[in-house]
Structure 1
Amino acid sequence: MVQDQPVEVDEKTKVSARAPKGIEEGHYRLVGWGIDTTGRRLIDEICQIAAYTTASNFSQHIMPFSDLNPSSRRRHNLRIVNLGRYRMLKNLKTNKFVKTKSEVSALTDFLNWLENNRGDGTDGIILVYHEFRKTSPGMLLEALRRYNLIERFSRIVKGFANGFNIAAANCKNTTKSFSLRVMSRMLLNKEDDFGNAVDRAQASYEVVVHLGQGERPDLNASGDGNDLEKHIISFVCPFVNPVGAEEEEVAGFKVLLERQNTFRPVFGALLKATLPERRHASHLRRLLAENNIDYEKLKTAYENGAKNAIEEILKNEVPNAKEKDLVELLEILDCFFDPEKKAIQPKPRFFANQNRRPKGRRQIVDNNKENTNKNVNNNAATDNDSTVANIHETPKIESLEEPEPVTTVVQ
C-alpha cells in the first residue's frame, strides 16, 4: 500500500520490502495477528480480525457494508448472502453462516483482548504479521481512526513487525521465496492454505519465534524461557515500525492517491480495458504521481511548450522509469492534449470462444450435416442411374402374329 524500497538479498535477487525504522529494546510482548478484508485498497473493510499468543487467541468476524471482491472471496472462502432485509456472512468451506459483529464492537473487543494479554510488556505490544505487500497496518489504522480509537491503540501497541522482512534478512541464503506458505513449510513443516486470518496469525508468530530461536540455539537447549523471550524480542526490535511511522506512511499514501486521481481524464479509457492494459496504465500513472507530477503541471507545460515541454519534464523528473515507458507516456499525453490528434484508446476486446459451439454439439451437428449430404448424394445418384438405365435400355417388342395351329394326324 505504501512505496516499496528494494532490499538487496544477493547479487541477482532484489526483494521488494519496506525499511522499518526500528525501536529500542525494552519490555514488549509479541502477538501474531492477521485480518481478512473485502479487498486490498485503503477504502476496503475488515471482515475478520484475529490474534495469537501461546497463552490465548482472538478471532472475530465483522459484517462489512460492501461485498467481498472475487479475489478476496476465493482467498478467504467468505461470501455475503442477502436474505431479504438481512445480510449474513457465510463460510464457503463449511457452508455455514458465521457470527458477526459491527466493526466498532469488534475493534473494541480486540483492544480489550490486547490489554488483558499484555502481560509483562510494560512498554507495549508488537503486532507480528507476514505480507509481501504491506496493506494490513494501514487498513487497521484507518478502521480505528473512523471510531476515534487510534489514541487508545497507540497506548497499547508499540508498532508492527513484518515477518516477510525478517525472513528476507535471515533466509536469503537458503531460499528465494519468503512467503508465509514457504516459510511455514520449511521452518514449521506445515502445509496450510492460509486463507483464514487465524491461521496466518499463528503461523506469523511461530515463524518469527523459530527464526529468533535459530539465532541462539543454546538458549533453546537450556530451557530458560525468560532469556529466550528477551532474545526473541531483541531480535525483532530492529524490524519494528512504530505506530507513528505507519500513520505517516498512510498520510503520504493518501496524498499519492489524490495526485494519481488527477490523471483520470488521461487514463480513463485505458483503466476500463482488459486486465493487462489496466495494470500497465496504473503503472504509468503511478510513475508520474511518485515523482510529484500532477495533471495541472503537465497541462501548463503543454500550453507553454507543447510536446517538447512534456518530454523535458519526463526525462528530467522521472528517473525511475524505463525508456519504453517514457516513450509511451509521451505519446499518450501528446495525443490527449493535442486537439488535432485522437486520444489513444484501448485495444478492442476479442473473445476467442464467442462464436463457437460446445465441442460435443459441434460434432453432432457436423455428423448430421455429413449424413444428410450423403443421403442427398445417394438419392441423387440413384435417380441419375435409373434415368440413364431407362434411356439406354432396349424395349422388348412383343410379336402380334398368331401362332400356327398344331395339326394332329389320326391313323
Structure 2
Amino acid sequence: MQSVNQKPELVTNMIKEAEKYTLVGIDIDATGRRLINEIVQLSAYNPKSQYSQYIMPYMNLNAAARQRHQLRVVTIGYYRMLQCTRTNKIVKSKSEIASLNDFLDWLHVLVKTDPNSSGVILIYHEERKFVPYMIIEAIKRYNLTERFLTIVKAFANGYEFAKLKCSGNLKIYSIRRLSKTLLNKNEIIYHSNYRNSPKQSRNGKKLYFEGCASVRAKLAFEIYQYLAVSNCPGGERNLQKHNVSDDDINGILEFNVNALQAMLKYIVDIAKPITDDFNELDKEKKSLDRQNSFRPVFLRYFEAALYHRVRAVKFRIILSESGYDYENLKAIWTEKRREGLTEVIQTIPLLKNAEKDELINLLDAHYDPTKPPMQPPARKHKSHHRKFKDKRNLKISDARLNHSKENKRNTKENEELLTSPQV
C-alpha cells in the first residue's frame, strides 16, 4: 500500500489522443467549500451506469451547504444521521472508506465493460477547481492512491471547454445556465425554490434537484457531450435523432463513430494527467499554510464586521499568492523597517493604492512593538448615496425656502389690506 505522504508513482502518465478512455461525469456534495471539509455525497454518471452514495461526515454541514443540498446532520439517541430537510426523512449513508471502495469497484467494472479502454477520465464542471482536490484528499486519507491511479488517468473541467466553445454567445457558463440554454432542461429545480415546490413532476417530466450531486454529475457529462458532438459532422442531427427521455439512460449510447471520436478528441485538449492535480493540491496546501501564518496580523479584522473579515481574507490570499508569509515579511521589516515593507507591497499589482497604504500601516504597526495595534478603518460609504442624500436635502431646503417666502408675501398682503383706508 502506498503511504499518505508518498508521491504518486505514475508521474509520466500522459493523455494520448490515440488511446481510448472511458468518460465519466462526476460531482460531490460537501460540508463546505474548504479543503478541511468532508464529502457528503459522491456521484458519478456514465450512459452505461450511474453511481451515487451518501457519506456520513464527522462534521456538520455549514449553513450554506445545508441550504444548497437540503441536508443536515441530526442526532437520534447515540447515533448521528443524515436527514433531508425537505421531507424530514433519514437518508441512507455509508462511511467514507466504504463509499470510496465501492466507487473504485464501480469504475473498475465500468472499464472492463468498455473494450480497449486505457482508463477513466472524470469530467466535472466548476469555475473554481474543488471536486478533484476533495476526491484526492479523501483517496490519500485512506491510502487508496495507488489503486486510484491505476483506474483514473485524468480530470477534465467541462467549464473550461464550455467557455472555449460558447465564448461568443454566452457570458455565464454555469451548469444552471448551460442546462437551460443548450439542453433545454426546464425540469431542474434549484435550491432557492426547491422547498416551495409541492410538485414532483412538470408536464409529465420528473423534477430534479440541482443541489444533488447525482443531478450535477449527469448534467456535466451531458453538457460536454452536447458541445463535443455538435461540432462533429452530423452531430446536431444525431443529437436530435437520439433525443431520449431522462429515464432511458441507454438511449444516449446510439452515437456514431465520429461522435465518439469527437468526444475523445476534445477531452485530450482539456484533460490533464492526474499527477498534475496531485502537484497542484500540494501547492494549494502550501498557499493555505502561508495564508494561515498571517492570522495574527489580521486578528482585529476577523473580530470586526463582515466587510473587514472579507477584506482580511483578500489581503491574505494576495500576500500568499505573491509568495510571502509571516516570517518573510517580519525579516524584511527587521532589516529595513517600514521602507522594506513599502518596497515589497508596492510591487504587488493586484492591490489598489489605498489598499497598499492600509496594508503597509497594518504590517508596520503589527511588527513594531512601540506602536499600538491598528484598528480596522471605518468603512466609507459609496459616493452616489451621499450625492443622492445631498440632492434630496437640497430639494427639501429649496421647498422650505419657497414656502417661507410665500408665507411672508401672504402676510405682507394681509397687512396692507388691514392698513388700507376703507372706502
Q: TM-score range by the shorter chain?
A: 0.7 to 0.9
Q: Please say which of residues 269-278 and 247-256 is displaced more in the overlay.
A: 269-278
Q: Note closer, same or farther for the CA distance 1:217–1:271 as it changes in structure 2 (3 Å cut).
A: farther
Q: Does 1:261 align with 2:256?
A: no
Q: Please say which of residues 95-104 and 256-265 is displaced more in the overlay.
A: 256-265
SS at match of 1:269: helix
Q: Note closer, same or farther for the CA distance 1:346–1:319 as it changes in structure 2 (3 Å cut).
A: closer
Deviation of the 1:121 alpha carbon: 5.5
2:59 counterpart letter in structure 1: S
Match of 1:195 in 2: 211
Deviation of the 1:47 alpha carbon: 0.6
Q: Note closer, same or farther for the CA distance 1:101–1:224 as it changes in structure 2 (3 Å cut).
A: closer
SS at match of 1:66: coil
Q: Does 1:57 align with 2:50?
A: yes
Cα shift readout 1:91-132 (whole Å, capped 9, x = no counterpart): 112221111100000000000011111213621111111111
Match of 1:246 in 2: 277
Structure 1 contact 335–342 (Cα < 8 Å) conserved:
yes
Structure 2 contact 232–258 (Cα < 8 Å) conserved:
no
Deviation of the 1:269 alpha carbon: 2.0
Q: Does 1:160 align with 2:155?
A: yes
1:230 counterpart letter in structure 2: Q
Deviation of the 1:238 alpha carbon: 0.6
Matches within 5 A, 1:282-361: 282-316=313-347, 318-346=348-376
Match of 2:102 in 1: 109
| Partner Cα separation in structure 2 for residue 112 and residue 297 of structure 1 | 47
Q: Which ranges in structure 1 are unaligned for 5 or more consecutive residues?
A: 1-20, 350-411
Q: Does 1:144 align with 2:145?
A: no
Deviation of the 1:339 alpha carbon: 2.7
Q: Which ranges in structure 2 are unaligned for 5 or more consecutive residues?
A: 1-12, 191-209, 239-253, 380-423
Q: Note closer, same or farther for the CA distance 1:152–1:218 as it changes in structure 2 (3 Å cut).
A: same
| Partner Cα separation in structure 2 for residue 320 and residue 189 of structure 1 | 39
Matches within 5 A, 1:327-406: 327-346=357-376
Match of 2:91 in 1: 98
| Partner Cα separation in structure 1 for residue 97 and residue 306 of structure 2 | 35
Aligned counterpart for 1:218 among listed residues 234, 239, 242: 234
Who wins on radius of gyration, i.e. which is larger?
A: 1
TM-score relative to the length of structure 2:
0.74
Structure 1 contact 22–237 (Cα < 8 Å) conserved:
no
Aligned counterpart for 1:204 among listed residues 210, 220, 228: 220
Match of 2:243 in 1: none
Structure 1 contact 48–197 (Cα < 8 Å) conserved:
yes
Structure 1 contact 22–238 (Cα < 8 Å) conserved:
no
SS at match of 2:44: strand
Match of 1:120 in 2: 115
Deviation of the 1:286 alpha carbon: 1.3
| Partner Cα separation in structure 1 for residue 220 and residue 294 of structure 2 | 38
SS at match of 2:134: helix
SS at match of 1:215: coil
| Partner Cα separation in structure 2 for residue 132 and residue 97 of structure 1 | 32
Cα shift readout 1:43-94 (whole Å, capped 9, x = no counterpart): 1100100011112101100000000010011111100001121000001122
Q: Does 1:175 align with 2:197?
A: no
| Partner Cα separation in structure 1 for residue 147 and residue 306 of structure 2 | 41
| Partner Cα separation in structure 1 for residue 153 and residue 116 of structure 2 | 10
Aligned counterpart for 2:67 among listed residues 43, 56, 74: 74
| Partner Cα separation in structure 2 for residue 314 and residue 149 of structure 1 | 43
Q: Note closer, same or farther for the CA distance 1:187–1:116 as it changes in structure 2 (3 Å cut).
A: same
Q: Does 1:24 align with 2:7?
A: no
- C-alpha RMSD of matched pairs (Å): 1.9
Question: How many residues matched?
Answer: 328
Q: Please say which of residues 190-199 and 114-123 is displaced more in the overlay.
A: 114-123
Deviation of the 1:326 alpha carbon: 1.5
Deviation of the 1:324 alpha carbon: 2.7
| Partner Cα separation in structure 2 for residue 243 and residue 200 of structure 1 | 22
Deviation of the 1:172 alpha carbon: 0.5
Deviation of the 1:288 alpha carbon: 1.1
Deviation of the 1:290 alpha carbon: 1.1
Deviation of the 1:323 alpha carbon: 2.4
SS at match of 1:189: coil
Structure 1 contact 260–285 (Cα < 8 Å) conserved:
yes
Q: Does 1:184 align with 2:179?
A: yes
| Partner Cα separation in structure 2 for residue 195 and residue 121 of structure 1 | 35
Q: Note closer, same or farther for the CA distance 1:22–1:170 as it changes in structure 2 (3 Å cut).
A: farther
| Partner Cα separation in structure 1 for residue 164 and residue 50 of structure 2 | 28
| Partner Cα separation in structure 1 for residue 161 and residue 15 of structure 2 | 15
Structure 1 contact 23–238 (Cα < 8 Å) conserved:
no
| Partner Cα separation in structure 1 for residue 303 and residue 59 of structure 2 | 21
Deviation of the 1:22 alpha carbon: 8.2
The share of aligned pairs that are identical, in percent, is 40
| Partner Cα separation in structure 1 for residue 14 and residue 212 of structure 2 | 29
TM-score relative to the length of structure 1:
0.76
Deviation of the 1:217 alpha carbon: 4.1
Match of 1:406 in 2: none
